[in-house]
Amino acid sequence: MIPDKAPKEDVFHGSEELKKEAHIPSFEKYKELYMKSIDHPDEFWGDVAKDFFWKTKHTGPFLEYNFDVTKGEIYVKFMEGATTNICYNLLDRNVHDRKLGDNVAFYCTFQKHLSAPQRYQYESISNRRRFKAASSSTEQIELDRKSDTETAQRETDREGKEKTRPVPQVPWDPEVDLCWHSLIRGASDECEPEWCESEDPLFILYTSGSTGKPKGVLHTVSGYMLYTATTFKLVFDHQPGDVYWCTADIGWITGHSYITYGPLANGATSVLFEGLPTYPDVGRMWEIVDKYSVTKFYTAPTAIRMLMKFGSDPVVKYKRESLKVLGTVGEPINPEAWQWYYNVVGDKRCPIVDTFWQTETGGHVLTPLPAATPMKPGSATFPFFGVVPAILNESGEELEGPSEGYLVFKQPWPGVMRTVYGNQQRFETTYFKKFPGYYVTGDGCRRDKDGYYWITGRIDDMLNVSGHLLSTAEVESALVEHEAVAEAAVVGRPHPVKGESLYCFVTLNDGVTYNRPLEAELKKQVREKIGAIATPDYIQNAPGLPKTRSGKIMRRVLRKIACDERDLGDISTLADSSVVEQLFQNRCCPAV
Ligand code: WTA
């Protein structure tokens, strides 16, 4: 499946200097370890596990599973019987066993909310509350809210002249409320770890589902820990002295796996950034790279495309000589953006790791290794250790050699999701029913003559906007909840920066007139219900939608209308073809 020899033509290689220090220095070494990870997973993961702390050893095999719905319930168990604590492994182990206690864990560039001038007092409170919300329990937030408000009250009183302004009052019930400051005074900063079972839940992260309702993806302790640690170490070729920077949002899976767990498990030094890559100017990223001497940099294709629009001047203004490896995640990277990233940002010196993975996979599953894998711009190249990809046709047959079809995985790796929280049936239906025996990614994929994998995009009703997955059904239901809307259909329209933009068709209820204020209201509604990333780019009034005789909306036709492409293919199943012409005439944006 993986070629014995890497191709020599039309590929890019990591530098000799990088190969000298790399964990996996050659394609041959990659292939040898890959085969070991598949043929002897116990040995492979057993070696990885040696670096971690286990309170008790596992009792069963490293990996036990059923991936075939026809044989019973789907399950994955990794290192069953072992007990450990992930926080102990991420922090205590680095301090006590690895003697990294004085190393920087995170260079933090959060704004100092506390130093905000008085007259911005109230905003500062709400900012602090928002910041804390990311890391505190609900009770803690409530207590912080009380103490923030009290502080604000004292400061306002002191200012005197502000006395007339109403200060928010927080009710205090001595039966249930406790004062944070008195509680924390005298509390010990030691907290004994809770020893967890390997398969205990670690976290649940919600991701869009094609039926509209988000799915709670459940990850468990040991498998996720070892998988994020290993992918981080090998994909970014982590070395002592590295300064790593991942620009992702910490609430996204990329922030979980590759800002928090992966880097900390390796005792890495990271830059943590909260802000915009374009503020105060478009050189912001490279300024930070120089300021902290960043060696490994990880971002999304959408950010690269956005910065590319401003040309190379804002990049070459900075040295960037510390950079060694560049990474991308979240969506296919178009070869043009890849070349710009490689030539301009990385000065033709830094390999690009185009990492394909999902919230569900926990960590990278198709990816180059920087010193070992010859790169092709736009290809996520080959599987990571323990991962066995296949390409299936519509009938579920495995395709060999150069081919295109559904991307699936044949067996689990330690970091794969365990279930959809509270809904095992949905887990099995979404990922395992279509092709029994395989985990179905929902992505299309092509394999070329050299065995390289190229992701071609989602094949379900999902959109990828700036690297974030959105379900069309979710946006449609947010639109339909508005009292003016009878029906909505949402499709993706290619966008030069965001990858895809949201083009929404809405059919209004009888008697309602379409106008700008209504359009603004609809955009606001989607934004509030789902989030800023889902704000529709275009809304078109659609008195009728193209439907089949059985009433199914033909999204394929709507996608053509959104792009003003007249070649509609076979539309003989349309119930009323006159709506199509009407929609073409009322398009609301210029051709792509
Ligand atoms: C897409 C993000 C092509 C893909 C980590 C996948 C990619 C979805 C790549 C998961 C890549 C992610 N090349 N497509 N390198 N990385 N995708 O769950 O469609 O937010 O299924 O996880 O993003 O998105 P999610």
Contacts of 128 (CB under 8 A, 6+ apart): 113, 114, 144, 148
Contacts of 11 (CB under 8 A, 6+ apart): 374, 375, 376
Structure tokens at 233: 């170490």
Please report the atom of ligand 1 found closest to the CA of residue 462.
19
Instruction: Please tell me the pTM assigned to this model.
Output: 0.80
Alpha-carbon separation of residue 193 from 55, 57, 89 (angstroms):
10, 17, 10
Cis peptide before 280 (omega within 30 of 0): yes
Query: Using a 6 Å cutoff on CB, does residue 364 contact ligand 1?
Result: no
- Cα 194 to middle of ligand 1, angstroms: 33
3-state secondary structure of 84: strand
Alpha-carbon separation of residue 301 from 171, 261, 306, 320 (angstroms):
47, 23, 9, 19
Query: Using a 6 Å cutoff on CB, does residue 380 contact ligand 1?
Result: yes
Q: Taking CA 308 as the corner, what is the angle to CA 303 and CA 309, rounded to the nearest 5 degrees?
A: 105
Query: Which residue has tokens 């959109």?
Result: 463
Q: What stretch of H or E contains 442?
A: strand 439-447
Contacts of 121 (CB under 8 A, 6+ apart): 152, 155, 156
- Cα 431 to middle of ligand 1, angstroms: 15
Query: Using a 6 Å cutoff on CB, does residue 441 contact ligand 1?
Result: yes
Structure tokens at 506: 């809405």
Q: Taking CA 151 as the corner, what is the angle to CA 145 and CA 153, rounded to the nearest 5 degrees?
A: 100
Q: What local confidence, expressed as pLDDT, does residue 135 receive? A: 32
Give the distance, in angstroms, between the CA of residue 513 and the centroid of all CA atoms in the same chain. Answer: 39
Residue type, 516: R
Q: What local confidence, expressed as pLDDT, does residue 162 receive? A: 45
Interatomic CA distance for residues 554 and 562, integer angstroms? 13
Please report the atom of ligand 1 found closest to the CA of residue 458.
19
3-state secondary structure of 87: helix
Phi, psi of 187 (to 5 degrees): -75, 145
Interatomic CA distance for residues 366 and 332, integer angstroms? 12
Q: What is the DSSP letter of 360?
A: G
- Cα 201 to middle of ligand 1, angstroms: 23
Interatomic CA distance for residues 310 and 285, integer angstroms? 13
Query: Using a 6 Å cutoff on CB, does residue 255 contact ligand 1?
Result: no
Q: Atom 14, ligand 1: which residue's CA is nearest? A: 331
Query: Using a 6 Å cutoff on CB, does residue 454 contact ligand 1?
Result: no
Please report the atom of ligand 1 found closest to the CA of residue 367.
15
Interatomic CA distance for residues 298 and 375, integer angstroms? 16
Q: What local confidence, expressed as pLDDT, does residue 433 receive? A: 97
3-state secondary structure of 469: strand
Q: Atom 10, ligand 1: which residue's CA is nearest? A: 358
449, 432 in Cβ contact below 8 A?
A: no
Query: Using a 6 Å cutoff on CB, does residue 369 contact ligand 1?
Result: no
Q: How many contiguous H segments (helices) and E segments (strands) does the chain have? A: 19, 23
Query: Using a 6 Å cutoff on CB, does residue 492 contact ligand 1?
Result: no
Alpha-carbon separation of residue 344 from 13, 56, 321 (angstroms):
16, 50, 12
User: Ligand 1, residues 443, 456, 458: which to mutate, most atoms within 8 A of Cβ?
Assistant: 443
β-partners of residue 201 are 220
Phi, psi of 338 (to 5 degrees): -60, -50
Q: Atom 15, ligand 1: which residue's CA is nearest? A: 356
User: Ligand 1, residues 358, 417, 461: which to mutate, most atoms within 8 A of Cβ?
Assistant: 358
Q: What local confidence, expressed as pLDDT, does residue 580 receive? A: 94
Interatomic CA distance for residues 537 and 526, integer angstroms? 11
Please report the atom of ligand 1 found closest to the CA of residue 441.
21
**Residue 43, class by beta-carbon neighbours within 10 Å (0-12 exposed, 13-18 middle, 19+ buried)?**
exposed
pLDDT tens over the chain, length 592 residues: 788 888 888 899 998 999 999 999 999 999 999 999 999 999 999 999 999 999 999 998 899 999 999 999 999 999 999 999 999 999 999 999 999 999 999 985 533 323 333 338 333 333 333 333 333 333 333 444 455 555 555 554 555 544 455 556 778 888 888 888 888 888 888 889 999 999 999 999 998 766 667 899 999 999 999 999 999 999 999 999 999 999 998 888 999 999 999 999 999 999 999 888 888 999 999 999 999 999 999 999 888 988 988 889 999 999 999 999 999 998 888 888 999 999 999 999 999 999 999 999 999 999 999 999 999 999 999 999 999 999 998 889 999 999 988 999 999 999 999 999 999 999 999 999 999 999 999 999 999 999 999 998 788 778 889 988 788 878 888 898 899 988 899 999 999 999 999 999 999 988 899 999 999 999 999 999 989 999 999 999 999 889 876 666 788 899 999 999 988 887 877 878 889 999 999 888 665 4
Q: What stretch of H or E contains 540?
A: strand 538-541
Interatomic CA distance for residues 197 and 194, integer angstroms? 10
- Cα 404 to middle of ligand 1, angstroms: 18
